[in-house]
Homo-oligomer: A and B are copies of this chain.
């Protein structure tokens, strides 16, 4: 229930610093009887892990996860599932000049103030390394959801100035380039752009989109735990995220009511501006969310800052870094969406399992790339 836990019924609690011995998490409340193995988790972890292309940080972690409990004879038991990933490739010496300094746009300053001191190696707990456990936990949620026909998929919709072209959208392309881009042409432009950026020593932001299909009608707990509110919480909790949109997001500011509303016919919805959520509850349409990730704070280009004594210093970060954290955020965003959806599916049936109706269930409009 403290800050390192997420979820009401399907709960994820994590631990682990960037340069500590291990990362771990406990997934509690998982429905029993689901087939689960390390391989199920490893697939998504491999999509996320560092060192897989020249465009991401060169730290090489195998990110091999072990399941320590909650699974017996290949199926979940319903008891808490303990997961563990050992850290193997920490290079603490890369950070030795950081102990007394506050790197601009990093969490050094705030962690030191909040807790009095911090594990400064590699960003400690504030490092994106902890997201590995979210991906592992999210893989469990995805497994359970898949059994129920719910699929969660993400992609990079924009990297810096390069936006994907919806006309060239292809889900299969997402897994074929290091950017999770569904647009092959844009992926090539991104590669060039990133090479230039790496030479420059700078970084850039990105926009990630996540979509869930097959979600039943009725998930979400008004008024505070609306499905979109919990999604916003989950997605904004990812390192570097500065914005969250559902459906048309900020475009709604200049939409008229007649333009925005998703009319209904017996054949189904006529549009999906709402992004699959109305009144905080899922409509059965595809749920779409988008996040904005800020550019990485660790740069080779010097930045002005202060040290713990308040003196002016210049900070240059050496070592291995992501010029664009957005590239690896796609599996993390998928994981968080999966966790929220499963938690809400369980909460909804906990309260409303006895509800039966013969109301019409509307089909969705075709989604992108179908």
| 27 residue pairs bridging A and B, Cβ less than 8 Å apart | A1-B7, A1-B11, A3-B223, A3-B224, A9-B350, A14-B26, A16-B68, A16-B80, A17-B70, A22-B69, A31-B355, A77-B124, A79-B125, A105-B262, A107-B281, A111-B281, A114-B348, A116-B355, A160-B254, A224-B233, A225-B237, A229-B236, A232-B232, A242-B248, A264-B305, A266-B312, A347-B350
**Distance between Cα atoms of A310 and B362 in the complex (Å):** 9
Stretch of A45-53, A179-187, A291-299 on the interface side: A291-299
Give the residues in chain B near A357, CB-CB below 8 Å: 112-113, 116
**Distance between Cα atoms of A81 and B350 in the complex (Å):** 18
Is A364 an interface position by the 8 A CB rule? no
- How many identical subunits does the complex contain? 4
A242: contacting residue among B197, B246, B355, CB under 8 A: B246
Least CB separation from A235: chain B residue: B232
- A239-250 vs B, CB cutoff 8 Å, 1 = contact: the mask equals 101111111111
Least CB separation from A248: chain B residue: B242
Is A72 an interface position by the 8 A CB rule? yes
Least CB separation from A245: chain B residue: B243
Contact A24 B207 (CB under 8 A): no
Chain A residues with a Cβ closer than 8 Å to the other chain, count: 161
**Distance between Cα atoms of A20 and B82 in the complex (Å):** 10
